[in-house]
Amino acid sequence: MGILKRVRDGLGIMLAVAVKELIQFRRYPSWVIAVFIWPLLFPIMSVFSARALAGPEGQALHAFAALSGTTDYTGYIIVGLVMWMWLNMTLWTLGSFMRSEQIRGTLEATWLCPVSRLGVLLGATCSQLLISMVNLTVSLIAFRYIWGFRIVGDLGLTALLFILSAAAVYGLGIAFASLVMWVKEANAMVFLVRGLFMVFCGMTYPLAVLPGWMRIVSRGLPLTYSIDGIRAVALAGAGLADVMGHIAALAAFAVVTLVAGFVAFRWTERRVLRTGALGHH
Amino acid sequence: MNERQDAVEVVGLRKVFERRARRGLLRRAQGEEKTLIAVDGIDFRVKRGEIFGLLGPNGAGKTTTIKMLCTLLSPTSGTARVAGHDVVREAAKVRCSLGTVLTGERSVYWKLTGRENLRYYAALYRIPRRKARERIAELLERLELAGRADELVEKYSSGMKQRLALARALLPSPPILLLDEPTVGLDPQAARNLRQTIFDLKAEGKTVLLTTHYMAEADELCDRIAIIDQGRIIALDSPAALKEGLGAKEVVRLEIQGEPNGLGDALRALALVESVAVRPSANGAGTCELQVITSNSRRSIGPIIESVRAAGHEVVHLQVVQPTLEDVFIRLTGKSLRD
Ligand SMILES: Nc1ncnc2c1ncn2[C@@H]1O[C@H](COP(=O)(O)OP(=O)(O)OP(=O)(O)O)[C@@H](O)[C@H]1O
Ligand SMILES: [Mg+2]
């Protein structure tokens, strides 16, 4: 089979899966909450906590600025939360995609087709990407009007950092989906992983407030670099030279997590063939 | 597949599962390892154009066999070829020549309509869009789903879901169909209709390999049957030949009060009695059922009843019947298919 035909087949399968996922997504009424309400509600708590800690006239902001380099704590929190929500959604969607197909009994039917199984998972990734983009757009527009959130720096550079982060996150997501297939449990795993990222990536606070050993852990997580880099560019107008380190780190993470994701998936595929773990027991 | 080749060819097929005691979230660590032999070296061939049945009780290894044939499970040892392709080395080719229905109603998406389901699977089979549209319309019509094709599957009855699953399997026009317990959970009418559909498929020249634990169904549907128990094939022939193989014209079924200690041997000693199987009856009344295979019931029924009485038992019920596949099974294994 020619390579061109294989690519076309692969894309066709991804599209079919993405369309099917979107149709199903729309048929569960809770989708409105996931896309429109949750991303707006979520940052409110952190922003008001910050306001309370800053004091009525913002007296404590100097201390914050000394650690974070900015007094715009709203923008600071929003960048952290948006990135974390992206991670959260990816893990949920990819992890629960495999799991729910497994429970429904449709995973075996899908596996019976002469298709690339990775293509099926990538299809689910595409539909997830679309949903996340809508989610992100809605949040950014709303934050602009509610909190006056604005990207002041270079949009292209922000986008680059974002795309590299997304790639790393999808690698994690694919590895995660593989894990879920044989642990047969998505919820606890999502809570664990996103909890780690929530604490260690400086979602709402500068890493400088963390004890030393925690800062070391932080350096091992891709989201740390995404959040820090995007804050620097989007909020403080940093240039390419300032975030070169971030870009390099994120690119490395993207390569490592994507490779790890694919390897984990292939490995799971083989294991499942031996144990029959595809069905629900 | 060339003209003379068998549709399915299974040689020494075995599947051993490793079992670990499971507990907790990370459930491995201290689990003791055990192995379970689900399929224990089976051989059979399914000829092109025939309906072949795997008949056996729960846990016999029917589903495991089907899953190895459709490439969802890898065999521990032995080989299997489907349409001439090896299920391990040529898995993609095997998948292209097979239509498989495993857990019928669970293999379709309940939040999609019937048509959307078929459209999705047609894309996975890479059927070009225009051709897919025609094929889907034709299959919906044929399986009597056309009227409700645009309703969500969650509103379908079990029979409709089962038919939709069959339509899914038929999408790529496969020469061979694997059906795992196709009529389980269907009402008698729906089951009858599905059996008719299976006959129609055979008439079109398709090969059907199905599993069932309903003897009557196997008897009615199948050209040949492999009786499978505890992972082994214990008999393989046409239904008529299997029944003839009992070498008897009649089966006397007795239900007696109490434990039949030694009664079996007493009965076996009688002239004309060929075999006796004893098991507790399923009705919960504390009685036992005896299956006595005799070459002449008119002449042996008197002595049989006398022996039962002489052993101090009361006959609660008595039937003289033509042998069924169930009798074949009881004869071979000493237990009922329904247990
Ligand atoms: N994935 C698996 N892992 C471990 N053991 C399994 C697995 N699948 C099946 N088994 C075991 O293998 C044996 C055969 O199971 P199988 O499902 O093939 O039986 P079956 O003949 O289809 O029975 P039923 O009529 O209940 O469907 C059973 O003891 C079952 O518990
Ligand atoms: Mg079964």
Nearest C-alpha neighbor of B331 from the set B230, B258, B248: B248
- Is the per-residue pLDDT at A154 higher than 60? yes
Extract the tokens encoding B309. 């009485």
Residue/partner pairs of A86-89 with CB below 8 Å, 24 or more apart: A86/A132, A86/A136, A86/A165, A86/A166, A86/A169, A87/A169, A87/A172, A87/A194, A87/A197, A87/A223, A88/A190, A88/A194, A89/A128, A89/A131, A89/A132, A89/A135
- Do B92 and A114 count as a contact with CB atoms less than 8 A apart? yes
How many helices (H) and strands (E) are present in chain B, helices listed first? Answer: 11, 14
The H or E element containing residue B12 is: strand B8-20
What percent of chain A has pLDDT above 70? 99
Count the residues in chain B: 339
Do the beta carbons of residue B38 and residue B231 sit within 8 Å? yes
Chain A residues 105-124 with a CB less than 8 Å from chain B: 105-106, 108-115, 120
- Do B111 and A106 count as a contact with CB atoms less than 8 A apart? no
Q: C-alpha distances in angstroms, B228 versus A270, B53, B109, B211, B329?
A: 28, 10, 32, 10, 9
The residue contributing the CA closest to ligand 1 atom 24 is B58
What is the rounded average pLDDT of the residues A109-136? 85
Ligand 1 centroid to A180 CA: how many Å? Answer: 22
Contacts of A193 (CB under 8 A, 6+ apart): A91, A172, A176
Q: Per-residue pLDDT tens for A38-48?
A: 777 888 888 88
Ligand 1 centroid to B14 CA: how many Å? Answer: 13
Residue type, B285: A
Q: How many angstroms separate the CA of residue B73 from the nearest CA in chain A? A: 5
- Do A106 and B100 count as a contact with CB atoms less than 8 A apart? no
B22 or A187, higher pLDDT: A187
Backbone torsions φ then ψ of B298, nearest 5 degrees: -60, -35
Per-residue pLDDT at A163: 92
What percent of chain A has pLDDT above 90? 18
Q: How many angstroms separate the CA of residue B98 from the nearest CA in chain A? A: 9
Nearest CA in chain A to B100: A112
Chain A residues with CB under 8 Å of B168 CB are: 109
Extract the tokens encoding B223. 């050209």
Chain B residues with CB under 8 Å of A273 CB are: 72-74
b/e sequence A206-222, b meaning 16+ C-beta within 10 Å: bbeebeeeeeeebeebb
Closest Cβ opposite residue A106 in set B26, B67, B109: B109
Chain A residues with CB under 8 Å of B100 CB are: 112
- Could you say which DSSP state residue B147 is in? G
Spatial distance between the Cα atoms of A117 and A60, rounded to a whole number of angstroms: 54
b/e sequence A145-173, b meaning 16+ C-beta within 10 Å: eebebebebbeebbebbbebbbbbbbbbb
Q: Per-residue pLDDT tens for A266-281?
A: 998 888 888 887 766 5
Mean pLDDT of chain A: 85
Rounded to 10 degrees, what is the CA torsion of A257, A263, A266, A269?
-70
Ligand 1 centroid to B38 CA: how many Å? Answer: 6
Chain A residues with CB under 8 Å of B39 CB are: none
DSSP string, A84-121: HHHHHHHHHHHHHHHHHHHHHTHHHHHHTSSS-HHHHH
- Do A109 and B18 count as a contact with CB atoms less than 8 A apart? no
- Do A276 and B123 count as a contact with CB atoms less than 8 A apart? no
Per-10-residue mean pLDDT of chain B, 339 residues long, equals 77 89 52 80 95 92 95 95 95 92 83 94 92 95 92 92 93 95 88 93 95 89 94 91 74 85 84 82 80 84 89 88 80 66
Per-residue pLDDT at A123: 86
Nearest CA in chain B to A100: B109
Chain A residues 145-204 with a CB less than 8 Å from chain B: 183, 185, 188
Residue type, B111: K
Closest Cβ opposite residue A27 in set B26, B70, B111: B111
Contacts of B116 (CB under 8 A, 6+ apart): A20, A23, B109
Ligand 2 centroid to B106 CA: how many Å? Answer: 14
The residue contributing the CA closest to ligand 1 atom 12 is B38
Backbone torsions φ then ψ of A38, nearest 5 degrees: -55, -50
Q: Is B109 helix (H, G, I), strand (E, B) or coil?
A: coil
- Is the per-residue pLDDT at A258 higher than 90? yes
Chain A residues with CB under 8 Å of B95 CB are: 112-114
Q: How many angstroms separate the CA of residue A91 from the nearest CA in chain B? A: 18
Per-residue pLDDT at B283: 74
Per-residue pLDDT at B339: 47
Nearest C-alpha neighbor of B19 from the set A274, A36, A232, A133: A274
Do the beta carbons of residue B69 and residue B7 sit within 8 Å? no
- The band of A7, judged by pLDDT with boundaries at 50, 70 and 90, is confident
User: What is chain B's Cα-based Rg?
Assistant: 23
Per residue, the 3-state secondary structure of B264-310, as one string, reads HHHHHCCCCEEEEEEEECCCCCCEEEEEEEECCHHHHHHHHHHHHHH
- Do A105 and B103 count as a contact with CB atoms less than 8 A apart? yes
Extract the tokens encoding A237. 């107008």
Residue type, A165: S
ipTM field: 0.82
Per-residue pLDDT at B280: 79
Per-residue pLDDT at B25: 52
Closest Cβ opposite residue B123 in set A12, A24, A278: A12
Q: How many angstroms separate the CA of residue B254 from the nearest CA in chain A? A: 40
